[in-house]
Chains A and B, each alone.
Chain A
Amino acid sequence: MDGGEVAAGAGAAWGDGPPPDTPAEAEREPVDLGPLVDELRAAIGAERVITHAHQLRTYESDGLLQYAVTPGAVVLPGSTEDVVATVRACHRAGVPFVARGAGSGLSGGALPVADGVLISLSQMRSIIEVDLDNQRVITEPGVTNIEISKAVGPDHFYPPDPSSQIVCSIGGNVAENSGGAHCFKYGFTTNYVTGLELVLPDGELVQIGGKELDPPGLDVLGAFVGSEGTLGIATKIWLRIVPKPESVRTLVAFFGSTVEAGEVVTEIVSAGMVPGAIEMMDNLSIRAAEGATNAGYPEDAGAALVVELDGSEAECEARFDQVVSICENAGADSVRVAQDEAERELIWRTRKAAFAAMGRIAPNYYVQDSVIPRTRLAEVLGRIDDLGREYDMQVANVFHAGDGNLHPLVCYDAAKEGEAERAEECAGMIVKACVDVGGSITGEHGVGVDKKRYMPDQFTDADLGTFQRLRCAFDPDGRANPGKVMPTPRLCGEVPGPYRRHPLEQAGVAERF
């Protein structure tokens, strides 16, 4: 869920002024990028370096249009060597850089820095190797998510499937640890990355892992995936792929309320099933989506529940009948089973239309991405209803019900004075309600600039300080995607004491990994 879904509702909610909580880095003394630009042009080719104002504006926002900053320069590297040359030059000049994939992210993670360089990886779009025997793919970062599954079909697929998969890039997926509708069963990007070639913020090139699992030493892959561009740039990515399931069955069931549908989710999971996907839409989302796809969904339904099972044909059939009876016994108004691929596709298209179709309800919306323990669903939905009333806002709900990842859409009209601010405040209260029940501020969109202000709700100062230690190990000067993730800018101190080898390696025991 992500970029593909945002376009319609976003809009410059905060007008032309600076976005709220402007990164402190943007306030530093203006830097003359001229010499750096000259150096870059000489190093990687003039055509790969953009400085024209109108061209720069193309890159001023990612998928979250509420934030816009024009970068000082944009670089379009065509190779790892170009990225190394660019980052090295930035490092020498003391200029910050921001990496950007397809620009479909929903948290402002690729928001440029005004006096910095934006490095767009969109030209590095080759799949380097497809190794079906070993079920691995090696790719450049600019390749789109869907291209990987296409390259390994029809017998294999790449499971993480963010809704923006036709545009979003694998490099962006690595930065954000993207999930998708099927991650309840199949996991996230981090579960599929077996190797990375990284350009560190000082321009050093390192390779961690490769085709094999469990590379020696610390799990740097695990730390890097999901680090939102703050630890460096991945220039080559090794991925694991898996055989396609033999069978897929999909249904949509309609219920009087989201609470009823939520109970069905719990029942399905308690019966020992791990569905490929369980998605829920509330009444407002159903109405919006129905307007877009004419799927014939009842517009008075309180909730639509999409359940998809996949696996071996025999097991899928047996379990699917069980899901149908659970829905019926729980009082579903109707249960619609997809009879063929076209009907299945319509169910998914309608589900994925919910975001974009929200334009039918209100001119703008503000989307949140919080996660809650699934058993607290009824309580949190009640709280969201209360908040909607309190702020006089319509809040639609679309969510990944299996893993408790909510996407409340706070609907508003930016043309009305004060509505955008009220929507943002309402959305913030929803995030806090989710953290209060033990949840997270973001399940898949990332922290970026948009949610960093909520980080202290979820993490203590000690937690944040510990995150910063990792950041400082990679980027002591704070030049990789500054102003993202951490709520307030922090500096890295010097490491005390002389250089020492990691004790695992000093003792020579790292080979046990």
Chain B
Amino acid sequence: MEAQASGVSTPSTVEDLAEELRRSDDAGQTVRVRGAGSKLTWAGEAGGAVEISTAGLDGVLEHNPGDLTAVLGAGVPLARAQEVFAEADQMLALDPPGADATIGGVVAAADSGPLRARYGGVRDLVIGVRVALADGTVAKSGGQVIKNVAGYDLAKLFAGSFGTLGAITEISVRLHPAAPQTVTALGHAGDPAVLARGAQALSHARLEQLGLDVRWAAGRGSVLSRSGGATAQAQAEAAERLLGEAGLDTEIRERDNGLWEAQRERQRSPGGLVAKVSALPIDLPELLRTAERHGATLVGRHALGLFWLRLDDGSPGELISELRGRYVTAVLDRPDGFELERDAGLEPGAELLMTRIKQRFDPKGTLV
């Protein structure tokens, strides 16, 4: 256990981390668990809390290529884990934005990128967790096999909990074969209704797309459909035909990594606002018009109904209140000093149930 100059403690074993949590819990000291710190602004204020970093739990504990599974310490940078998996032509199908993020942080924030359209999100790819609770209890849920219904699925409960139920210390994941050669079909339009028609055609297409995204900026947008495998080109051409039939201007891009990298980047804003909207596919035209009115950009997974609106300059307050009026909206990045009216969008019964869960896992309210 070592204390860094910043006051962040960085234990190097699960046991040390659990012991540190227990001592804080006993002392009535609030704690915030952190990874690389790339999403700390998403997590509201933690005034008075000490920080415990998972950065010391940085081992790739297992990679079982034959089973397509791995076990990672929470502090392992996702990028480093991907390098290990790539040696076996495999990947963890999670591609959230951000080069530094740790796997623990990605799981705790349930962040995701374009691969979610095909492979699911954090909750679908994590097959087990080891956690340290506030009272020092170290426990696991799930395991290292991809199919398992023994016991409660606490991995899902902890995914997206921002460390408020306990510190996630180890994560078992399901891997996939690395995306082979890929080709992307693009359809462009300046009319939200036309763009939405193209996106809807591909959401309903009997194609197996590796990615299906939309983007919009400054009056014009695109649908992106990515195909892979031995017949990537033929599949992309089929997608292109559907986009053309829907009235979009189309093209095929073989070197397509940059396109998808840009989609991921638009889910973050270094000094501005990013709001993640849980909507439905048919809401797309309305959301595009909203983005346009406020000067925001939009990217999203159309078939999943998940969209990220980004506003680098302008009035975030107006955009947020308009979005909240219609959709479940999570504010991720926010400009310094931007005051947000609190509204989680939870109905009272759900809120009470979540409070009861919190009380059972962290009765003293140590983890913030």
- Nearest-CB residue, chain B, relative to A225: B153
Whether the pair A463, B342 counts as a contact (CB closer than 8 A) is no
Whether the pair A442, B340 counts as a contact (CB closer than 8 A) is no
Whether the pair B345, A216 counts as a contact (CB closer than 8 A) is yes
Q: Collect the chain A residues with CB atoms within 8 Å of residue B290's CB.
A: none
Does A20 sit within 8 A of B, measured CB to CB? no
Which residues in window 403-461 of A have CB below 8 A to B?
A: 403-405, 438-447, 451, 455, 458-460
- Nearest-CB residue, chain B, relative to A440: B148
- Nearest-CB residue, chain B, relative to A208: B350
Whether the pair B140, A187 counts as a contact (CB closer than 8 A) is no
B138-168 vs A, CB cutoff 8 Å, 1 = contact: the mask equals 1111011111111111111101111011000
Given A315-B229, A315-B231, A503 and B164 contact (CB-CB distance below 8 Å):
yes
Whether the pair A204, B349 counts as a contact (CB closer than 8 A) is yes
Given A223-B157, A374-B66, A512-B43, A216 and B330 contact (CB-CB distance below 8 Å):
yes
A184-207 vs B, CB cutoff 8 Å, 1 = contact: the mask equals 100110110000000010001111
Does A296 sit within 8 A of B, measured CB to CB? no
B189-208 vs A, CB cutoff 8 Å, 1 = contact: the mask equals 00000000000100111111
Residue A512 contacts which of B44, B89, B327 (CB distance < 8 angstroms)?
A: B44
Whether the pair B354, A218 counts as a contact (CB closer than 8 A) is yes
CA distance A464 to B344 in the complex (A): 31
- Nearest-CB residue, chain B, relative to A496: B363
Does B293 sit within 8 A of A, measured CB to CB? no
Does A257 sit within 8 A of B, measured CB to CB? no
Q: Collect the chain B residues with CB atoms within 8 Å of residue A464's CB.
A: 151
Whether the pair A466, B150 counts as a contact (CB closer than 8 A) is no
Q: Collect the chain B residues with CB atoms within 8 Å of residue A501's CB.
A: 351, 355
Whether the pair B162, A504 counts as a contact (CB closer than 8 A) is yes
Interface SS, A side: loop
Given A459-B151, A467-B151, A217 and B350 contact (CB-CB distance below 8 Å):
yes
Q: Collect the chain A residues with CB atoms within 8 Å of residue B141's CB.
A: 463, 466-467
Among B139, B154, B235, B343, residue most surrounded by chain A Cβ atoms (within 10 Å): B139
- Nearest-CB residue, chain B, relative to A472: B360
Whether the pair A212, B150 counts as a contact (CB closer than 8 A) is no
Whether the pair A443, B357 counts as a contact (CB closer than 8 A) is no
CA distance A445 to B329 in the complex (A): 37
Interface size class of B (residues with CB under 8 A): 35 or more
Does A27 sit within 8 A of B, measured CB to CB? no
Q: Collect the chain B residues with CB atoms within 8 Å of residue A211's CB.
A: 280, 305
Which residues in window 152-190 of A have CB below 8 A to B?
A: 155, 176-177, 179, 183-184, 187-188, 190
Q: Collect the chain A residues with CB atoms within 8 Å of residue B46's CB.
A: 507
Q: Collect the chain A residues with CB atoms within 8 Å of residue B66's CB.
A: 266, 269-270, 373-375
Whether the pair A505, B354 counts as a contact (CB closer than 8 A) is yes
Does B252 sit within 8 A of A, measured CB to CB? no
Cβ contacts A to B, 26 pairs, < 8 Å? A133-B200, A136-B280, A183-B147, A212-B280, A213-B278, A213-B305, A216-B345, A219-B157, A219-B161, A223-B357, A272-B89, A272-B177, A373-B67, A374-B67, A439-B145, A440-B147, A440-B149, A451-B150, A463-B139, A466-B154, A473-B356, A503-B358, A503-B367, A508-B343, A511-B342, A511-B345
A residues near B (Cβ < 8 Å) are 132-136, 155, 176-177, 179, 183-184, 187-188, 190-191, 200, 204-208, 211-223, 225-227, 243-246, 266, 269-270, 272-274, 311-312, 314-315, 318-319, 371-375, 400, 403-405, 438-447, 451, 455, 458-460, 462-467, 469-474, 485, 495-497, 499-505, 507-513
B residues near A (Cβ < 8 Å) are 42-46, 64-69, 89, 110, 120-121, 123-124, 131, 133, 137-141, 143-157, 159-162, 164-165, 176-178, 180, 200, 203-208, 227, 229-231, 234-235, 238, 276, 278-282, 303-306, 324, 327-332, 340-347, 349-361, 363-365, 367-368
